[in-house]
Amino acid sequence: MVDLPRDTDYILCITSFVETRLISCKQEQKAGCPVAHVVTQSCCNDASCVSVCPVDCIHPTPAERAYIRTEMLFIDPVACIDCGACVDECPVDAIVPPEDLTPATEVFAAINAAYYEDITPGAMDVAEAPVAAVSVGDTRTPLRVAIVGSGPSACYVAEELSSTAGIGVEVTFLERLPAPGGLVRYGVAPDHAKTKLISTTFSRTLSRKNCAVLLNVDVGQHLSHDEIVDHHHAVVYASGAPADRSLGISGEDLPGSVSAREFSAWYNGHPDHAERTFDFSGERAVVVGNGNVALDVARVLTSDVARLVGTDIADHALESLAASRIREVIILGRRGVGGAAFSTPELLGLSQIPGVEVTASGFERSDPESGALHRIKASVVENYARTIASSGNRRIHLQFQRTPVSIFGDGRVGGIRVERNTVHMSGVKPVVVGTGEFEDIEAGLLVRSIGFRGVRIADLPFDEQRGVLPNQGGAVVDPLTGEAVTGVYTAGWLKRGPSGVIGSNRPCSIETSRRIVRDFLAGRLEAPRHSTADFMELVYRRQPALVDLKGWKRIDAHERKQGKVHGRPRLKIVDVAEMVDVSRGTSRTGG
């Protein structure tokens, strides 16, 4: 392949359909015709933009069947009137007017248009009757709700409850770490700064007058489930999916075999993983799984440190990666391109890493998928497959139709054995069939990126197979009887499993919130046995190192101030004791 400039190379990673669309858009601009606003890579699916659009041109909406599986939202270029209302509403600056498109983002004009090429009758149908907003008269007794967790789903629950007209709501956040945010702080890749802007939205919720924020409080250690229930009408578990799914193959526990969850937590400065060390002495790493987290891991491992130094990546990670000898990351997927879990925006983003080539192999071009959006994704991969790797650059290689068989090595990871697959259709479902052909891939680091799962909570039912709390519409139920566990609810990944992106938690959390309010108004919730003041006294007694909202704001200001000194957005504190000291204004580290 001819060595083209990066922006040109990027645009070539699309189908002739896309190229035609881009040419059409540019011609319309030159002719003075209006060109639609465009949703770009950082879209978080929050869908705040949907409600402010006066012409209903942003889809899929949370009420539509396609929303639950969509990788981003799309603006209809025909219906858009370029009013700009969506730009102001978008929490992650993902929507841009046509004149602000860059060589790296203009492809999204074609991607937005492609979505509407695929629309068929019924595609925008409502998936099921939406959970109606609760309409109530004034109530004298405030609804008291404890939320375990402080990530997106927790904040969306609190925001919906707090916005319910005619009912007073008191919300108490209980977060195990001294910093709120969940995966926004500790899961979003450091080079995705725009995505992290959603934290501003959640900060407004945490700062509501009716919300109490209690950080560094571990439910199960400092407080029991029963103690929380005794002080609230309801408790919502929105603590995510902090465990890993297993490959179930020999060698999985060898040193050098790590989970993507712990690796991403390490480079994002999670206190539980700050002391971890990883061996970057080999020249090749393998990532098993090909979702967006796998692409995050590959980008971090192959990026020059100069690209990461301006992000909020943890200092210890930056130092270790600077000494890394890794030159190649192979990403393994069991199925073909159509079965890959990564999104098209993230796939395209790989080609924008300076000094990194992207190649692909192992997929069948007769992959049983159709539609304009799929054709774009397939074409990107096919263009990557045509790339001729050079010896001077780092490389990310996408390898499809490979099933892990075993991890081998003498005392530590030395590589992975895989079986080649073919993909057949059984009805409407693709089925992976092994060919009996095996190959060994040598690697010094193996990262397992095959999904997360929730963990059991003491005294509550749990679905071991799915790794979630069994529930109906967010109300936790006894799986044997189907009856609701009074006053206990769930939201986010612990409710539905680890699916979707940040904004996918919004409709999920709204459903849970409205179920709580309905149960409260119907008299199905037991009144708290003790007062809010009693609960606060209990928590402060059990956890003297508690961090409140004012304390968190001191930590936040300190991190930002230290970051500014080094030309970075923030320098994350990764030690819990130091975070507590900073929250109290007693830190010796300055700021």
Q: What are 531-578's pLDDT values in tens digits? A: 999 999 999 999 999 999 999 999 999 999 999 999 999 999 999 999
pLDDT at 4: 35
Model confidence pLDDT, tens digit, residues 215-232: 999 999 999 999 999 999
Structure token digits, residue 293: 């987290």
Q: Where are the domains of the chain?
A: 6-117, 143-242+453-546, 246-450, 554-591
Q: 432 and 218 in contact (C-beta within 8 Å)?
A: no
Higher per-residue confidence, 379 vs 300? 300
pLDDT for res 239? 97
Query: How much is the mean pLDDT over the chain?
Result: 90
Instruction: Please write the tens of the pLDDT for every residue from 50-103.
Output: 999 999 999 999 999 889 889 999 999 999 999 999 999 999 999 999 889 998
Q: Is residue 21 predicted with pLDDT exceeding 60? A: no
Estimate to the nearest angstrom the gap between the alpha carbon of 89 and the chain centroid: 20
What's the whole-number mean pLDDT along residues 265-287? 97
Q: How much is the pLDDT for 118?
A: 76
pLDDT tier, 207 (very low <50, low <70, confident <90, very high otherwise)? very high
- What local confidence, expressed as pLDDT, does residue 10 receive? 45
pLDDT digit string, tens, across residues 410-462: 999 999 999 999 988 777 788 899 999 999 999 999 999 999 999 999 999 99
**Per-state percent for the chain, helix, strand, coil, to nearest 5:** 35, 20, 45
What is residue 6's predicted lDDT score, i.e. its pLDDT? 44
Q: Is the dihedral of CA 298, 302, 307, 310 positive or negative?
A: positive
pLDDT band at 8 (very low <50, low <70, confident <90, very high): very low
What single DSSP character describes residue 551? H
Nearest to 539 by CA among 528, 550, 547, 529: 547
d(CA 182, CA 185): 6
Q: Give the fold, CATH level 3, of 6-117.
A: Alpha-Beta Plaits (3.30.70)
**Alpha-carbon distances, residue 50 vs 61, 88, 100, 123, 481 (angstroms):** 7, 12, 21, 17, 39
d(CA 51, CA 72): 16
Q: Per DSSP, what are the bridge partners of residue 475? A: 472, 489
pLDDT over 50 (residue 196): yes
How confident is the model over 583-590, as a mean pLDDT? 79
312-364 pLDDT, tens digit per residue, is 999 999 999 999 999 999 999 999 998 899 999 999 999 999 999 999 999 87
**Structurally, what CATH architecture does the domain formed by 143-242+453-546 represent?**
3-Layer(aba) Sandwich (3.40)
Q: Is the pLDDT reported for residue 33 higher than 50?
A: no
Using an 8 Å Cβ cutoff, are 163 and 133 in contact? no
Whether 278 contacts 322, CB under 8 Å = no
Question: Could you tell me the pLDDT band of residue 376, with boundaries at 50, 70 and 90?
Answer: confident
The per-residue pLDDT for 375 is 84
What integer is the mean pLDDT of 131-149?
Answer: 76
- pLDDT score recorded for residue 529: 97
Q: Model-level pTM?
A: 0.91
Q: Which CATH number describes the domain made up of 246-450?
A: 3.50.50.60
**pLDDT given for residue 327 in this prediction:** 97
For residue 274, the model assigns a pLDDT of 96
**What is the structure's pLDDT at 195?**
96
- Torsion (CA) 302, 303, 306, 307 in degrees, nearest 10: -170
132, 148, 484 from 177: Cα distances, Å = 34, 11, 30
